[in-house]
Amino acid sequence: MTGIEFIKACSAIGAGLAMIAGIGPGIGQGFAAGKGAEAVGRQPEAQSDIVRTMLLGAAVAETTGIYGLIVALILLFANPFI
């Protein structure tokens, strides 16, 4: 095994670890959707306002997953170490 191959193998491990970050926004948005659906069930006439509030919160939550994705893909396809 050459040095470059070893760095590539470790980068693959690192990329896999970085992708774990994607779970967080998934859980969070799921919780938000559950609460939102509950609120609409209780007060259907406020539906558009509820969706709006939820949408803004979820749009902010989504970026942390994207950070993890960026680091993982840089490690895989634009590795600065090689």
CB of 1 to another protein, least distance (A): 7
What is the per-residue binding string for another protein in 12-51, x denoting contact by CB under 8 A? -xxxxxx-xxxxxxxxxxxxxxxxxxxxxxxx-xxx-xxx
47 in Cβ contact with 40 (< 8 Å)? yes
> Which run of H or E residues covers position 68?
helix 47-77
- Encoded tokens for 26: 């998934």
Interacting residues with another protein between 52 and 81 (CB under 8 A): 52-75, 77-81
- Position 29, amino acid: Q
CB of 28 to another protein, least distance (A): 2
